[in-house]
Amino acid sequence: MATTRQMKLTAFCHPPGHWRMPGARPTDMGFEDNVHLAQTAERGKFDMLFYQDSAAVAPVFYLSGGNAETLAESARCVRLEPLTMLAALATVTKHIGLVATATTTYNDPFSIARKFATIDHISKGRAGWNLVTSQNVDEAQNFSRDSHLDHALRYQRAQEFYDVVTGLWDSWDDDAVIRDRETGRYIDPAGLHVLNHKGDHFSVRGPLNVARPPQGYPIIAQAGSSDPGRELAARTADVVFTAQVDIGEARSFYADVKGRMAKYGRAPDDLKIMPGIRFVLGQTESEAKERYEMMVSSASDDGALASIQRLAGDLDLKQFPLDGPLPDLPPSNAAKARQVMMIELARRENLSIRKLARRFAFSLGHMVYVGTAKGLADQMEEWFTAGVCDGFTMLSPYFPIPLELFVDTVVPELQRRGLFRTEYEGTTLRENLGVPFRSSRYT
């Protein structure tokens, strides 16, 4: 039965994940594997492919005090720079949106505006920027700072960063590049706007030396769930990535973020909220459970603990009995909302430190589904029709087999139920997501 409202889907790309699983092909080096991944997601009519990122070797090595064995088992140390990857993937895909993280804390707005505008042109309107403020001191130390900027300051800088980037994207009117052979006029000077921005964090004259992006602005995604993160999303974002494990909490998050939009003159539907699902599929539930157990048991205690160390406010959890409860944690300067969620999960399910660490190492903090394609479609339908999300971010535990299984079994089931598209609706990412073109502030 066809419904008018259909869910949006993102394929989440991250370092290799459970690379020891049979058939796993890590995507951290080979371009061909990333092409296969993008084309598989496009075959499944996904709205977009999203590369998460941080500009540092993941903290696991430093946090383990340089423990070589923990480093040896970490599959998160090397990766390809994602904006370069998006540009390359734009040439071998036609429909799928291409989204990557770039931090506002360790970048300059001019470079970011220029790069995403370029990717939007190369892909003919399929680019997206996941605007994050970074979580780790490891990044700070690669960018001439000793410590990570304070959470509140990071978000103030992010707000101004967004204003400058979008101001630069408005440098030229949509029709300012005229290339009129008859008159010899390449540019219409009336279509030029110089930003002349001077603020607390940035001083940027402009204009940008790239024409206005095909989508007006590339898609803006936001993934912070703290109060300033939600406010930034309500003001700026087209897409929100979020980790939600409880349908009730997902409902209040959804209502809260959408409820903040009206004061910025935005309609609730202009923003798509897409919680993550870490999924493990099998022909039967027991086959899926067996695969899940293989993955969860493959990490060592040290490796699993390292994955939650930042969220534990950098408290060394090894000093506590690992089969005992989670102690009180100092506040985290990394991901405030995620820390609260982790503490609540431990309390709700009465998880020991060891079990919590293993769960988080696998789930990355997201909802986990282990079972059959039909069961996963049921769960997605339940959340979607309950009105607690606009779609989902699918976190394949490794590549490419689980994503291929999703595309070949879950997507047709969702399509059969009328919950997901059978063809792309438009040519740009904005059109497919159903979010408005962003007009220039000068029109």
Q: Using CB under 6 A, list all residues that contact ligand FMN.
A: 52-54, 101, 103, 130, 132-135, 223-226, 229, 241-243, 276, 335-338, 393
Tell the smallest beta-carbon distance from residue 144 to ligand FMN (Å): 18
Tell the smallest beta-carbon distance from residue 334 to ligand FMN (Å): 7
Q: Residue 211 or 395: which CB sits closer to ligand FMN?
A: 395
Structure tokens at 148: 């990570």
- Long-range (24+ apart) CB contacts under 8 A made by 340-347 are 341/243, 341/245, 341/249, 341/365, 342/308, 342/311, 345/245
The DSSP annotation for 392-420 comes to EEEE-SSSSHHHHHIIIIIHHHHHHTTSS
Buried b (16+ CB within 10 A) or exposed e, 111-149: ebbbbbbbbbbbbebbbbbbbbbbbbbbbbeeeeeeebb
Q: Residue 64 or 136: which CB sits closer to ligand FMN?
A: 136
Rg (CA), the chain: 22
Tell the smallest beta-carbon distance from residue 188 to ligand FMN (Å): 38
Q: How far apart are CA 341 and CA 365, in angstroms?
A: 8
Q: Residue 367 or 411: which CB sits closer to ligand FMN?
A: 367
Tell the smallest beta-carbon distance from residue 395 to ligand FMN (Å): 8
Q: Residue 224 or 282: which CB sits closer to ligand FMN?
A: 224
Q: Residue 172 or 392: which CB sits closer to ligand FMN?
A: 392
Tell the smallest beta-carbon distance from residue 440 to ligand FMN (Å): 27
Q: Residue 168 or 311: which CB sits closer to ligand FMN?
A: 311
| Spatial CB neighbours of 283, under 8 Å, sequence gap ≥ 6 | 372
Tell the smallest beta-carbon distance from residue 133 to ligand FMN (Å): 5
Q: Residue 58 or 208: which CB sits closer to ligand FMN?
A: 58
Structure tokens at 131: 């605007």
Q: Residue 28 or 413: which CB sits closer to ligand FMN?
A: 28
Q: Residue 51 or 172: which CB sits closer to ligand FMN?
A: 51
Tell the smallest beta-carbon distance from residue 172 to ligand FMN (Å): 30
Tell the smallest beta-carbon distance from residue 392 to ligand FMN (Å): 11
Sign of the Cα torsion 229, 234, 239, 245 reads positive
Q: How far apart are CA 293 and CA 287, in angstroms?
A: 10
The pair phi, psi for residue 391, each rounded to 5°, is: 165, -165
> Which of 312, 100, 344 is closest to 223 using CA atoms?
100
> Which of 90, 95, 91 is closest to 42 using CA atoms?
95
Tell the smallest beta-carbon distance from residue 139 to ligand FMN (Å): 8
